[in-house]
Amino acid sequence: MYRSLPLKDIQITDPFFTARIETARKVTIPYMWETLNDRVPGVAPSHCIENFRIAAGLQEGEFHGFWFQDTDLWKWIEGVAYSLATHPDADLEKTVDEAIDLAGKAQQEDGYLDTYYIVKGIDKRFTNLRDHHEMYVAGHMFEAAAAYYEATGKRKLLDMACRVADCFDANFGPEEEKLHGYPGHEEIEVGLAKLYRVTGEEKYIRLAKYFLDVRGQQPHYYDQEAAKRGETQIAWSHLRYPQKPYTYYQAHVPVREQKEANGHAVRQLYLLSGMADVGSMAGDSTLVEAADTVFDNIIHKQMYITGGVGSTHEGEAFSFDYDLPPERCYTETCASIALAMTASRLNRIAPNGRYGDTVERTLYNGILSGVSLDGTKYFYINPLEVWPDRCVRRQDMHVDPERMGWFGCACCPPNVLRTLTGLGNYIYAADEESLLVDQYIASKVDTEAAGQKIAFTMEANFPWDGKVRMTMNSAASFRLMLRKPWWAKTWSLTLNGELVEASLANGYLTLESAFAAGDVIELDLPMEVRFMNATLRSPNYVGKTALMRGPVVYCLEEKDNGGELWNLSVKAVEAEASHREDLLGGVTTITCQGLRQEGEGDLYNEDAYAEKAQQLTFVPYYAWGNRGRGEMAVWVRKA
């Protein structure tokens, strides 16, 4: 079992990510705090802190917002905690402590803490696990508590979280007198796993395992629960998924029998993350294997080239194998984050390059596209093709052609925040003998790993350049495992300038050595422009190509190529990459020869359209939509 290196031990110096992390720290964190307090003019009030004040008896009023509104605070604290781990900030910590104190005042005698039910009637709690997200809220609280404890050493939030967990443990479990339910929106499983990791309390991992074991069993808890509520209406999710009731919740069959991704994409991936965590911590390999089976289905049959997942707006959900429409998709930012979470967790159990490849694909594409370059605007949905007229004038599109400032359901912004401030979690991992380098994000490390003190500096300029240089800052003897990205057709590895024959297994180049201080390991992963195809099983991409270079997916924007992108086609199989510091915060663009169809025919005609040579300019997909409204396309016809 591998573990990520502690965030505190990693100082990120990456030229690509540093600016984004700084924006998250300096812009997003204070901005979000203001929104949680309803102090941002022009933004719909969150009511999040107000709900806590009301629940704490400090203020009169009604609960407002979604039944999971509390998570806005918990996700914010988690994101702040990761930041504090490497960038202490006494003022910010004081703000968090005050928020924790406030929440503490709302916590009930028996540990229960969910402002929705505390304000609206606590007698109704635990009556609608299918829809009402109490466990989801708790899971995010546990993640925040573990992160804040690890960052600051302060126990108050952790103790509060344990009391919440104890409350669930007292009410749920296999014992006859307890409830046998489980969450409609998974998340408590990963939260409990973190509580277990931090506290060592076995009951927490046992409870998480119970939630996984009981999920989807017959007679169905959601049927029983709905009957108890006297519900006569058919659940929304049944209407939408009549052929497979409860697939929306991944509760149609027990989790070990699920072979493909189904339903709400974020829930599916939080479930897989929980299965990986619980399976490894509780020693149940059947959970890990089941998670891996569904993960495989996703990356081989249900994932967009950007690492986006969720092909349909209906239920923000997976649809079915090879159904990957580029324009009318969901590909929520949170779902890509959740895919990275799952991949990273599976990699900690049995390292394999495909996991790190997946994290990399999401990080440089489908996650980063969710936030504007200045860090202030967000996409909830990340389509691969946008015709703004269609987004705006077809009311069935559900796709915004431009990023927006904030959402009523503000799940993506804090999720991006915690991903950026917690980026260190994805870079390295170690066990007793080995250190894995999963992402080539430049950083300075000083840690205990593989049974010793390890200190080194990693220099890199991803995703624009494939040269990575590690300099050992202390002597250490261990197995260094460097992920060889799927896109690197060739590579070279040197130690102090001498070529090294490294073995390649499971996607890792492995170098076992007694390193001396000052040793320099250089890995060169040449980045070439690749003209990608999609499988012929998918109807949307036949005859089209998507350009990639290294881990970056490219796209055409109207700004660079004129309108009606659909009339363009790629002619050359040669392309030129050039770095432009002045563009989009500094990006490598790709140019290649293309053709533009031209002609003014009737709606339907037999004209021979003219084709005119046009140089095509591609920019990184993650950076699209930062220069005003316009068309965008990842997949382009081949001439």
Chain residues that interact with its own copies, rule: CB under 8 A: 240-241, 243, 299-301, 303, 305, 311-315, 319-320, 323, 328, 387, 389-390, 392-396, 530-539, 542-543, 546, 564, 566-567, 569, 597-607, 609, 637
Q: With left for phi above 0 and alpha for psi between -120 and 50, is residue 158 left, alpha or beta?
A: alpha
Question: Nearest approach, Cβ of 540 to its own copies (angstroms)?
Answer: 8
Read off φ and ψ for residue 611, nearest 5 degrees: -120, 125
Is-contact 332 395, C-beta < 8 A? no
**Pick the catalytic residue: 162, 334, 391, 411?**
411
User: Is residue 144 within 8 Å of residue 78, measured between CB atoms?
Assistant: yes
Active site residue 411: yes
Q: Does residue 316 carry a catalytic annotation?
A: yes
3-state secondary structure string across 541-602? CCCEEEEEECCEEEEEEHHHHCCCHHHEEEEEEEEEEEEECCCCCCEEEEEEEEEEEECCCC
Q: Which of 19, 17, 2, 7 is nearest to 440 (CA)?
A: 17
User: Which is nearer to its own copies, 320 or 407 (by Cβ)?
Assistant: 320
Nearer to its own copies, 122 or 532 (CB): 532
CA 624, CA 610: separation in Å to the nearest integer?
A: 29
Minimum distance from residue 357 beta carbon to its own copies (Å): 11
Q: Alpha carbon 437 to chain centroid distance?
A: 19
Q: What's the rounded Cα separation, in Å, for the pair 585 and 623? A: 9
- For the CB of residue 387, give the shortest distance to its own copies in the complex, in Å: 6
Closest distance of CB 632 from its own copies, Å: 12
* CA 225/CA 50 separation, integer angstroms: 30
- In terms of CB distance, is 133 or 301 closer to its own copies? 301
Cα 548–550–556 angle (5° rounding)? Answer: 30
Q: What is the identity of the amino acid at 397?
A: M
- Burial per residue of 390-404, b for 16 or more beta-carbon CB atoms within 10 angstroms, e otherwise: bbeeeeebbbbbbbe
User: What is the three-class DSSP state of 499?
Assistant: strand
When the beta carbons of 247 and 443 are compared against its own copies, the nearer one is 247
Q: Is the Cβ of residue 2 or residue 487 nearer to its own copies in the bound state?
A: 487
List the catalytic residue out of 50, 134, 189, 316: 316
Q: Which is nearer to its own copies, 308 or 413 (CB)?
A: 308
Element (H, E) at 452: strand 452-460
Of 556, 548, 570, 523, nearest in space to 631 by CA? 556
d(CA 459, CA 625): 30
Closer of 514 and 608 to its own copies (Cβ)? 608
Find the shortest distance in angstroms from Cβ 409 to its own copies.
Answer: 18
- How near is the Cβ of 307 to its own copies at its closest, in Å? 11
Give the Cα separation of 553 and 549 in Å (integer). 7
Q: How far is the CB of 273 from its own copies (least distance, A)?
A: 22
Query: What are the residue numbers of the active site?
Result: 316, 411
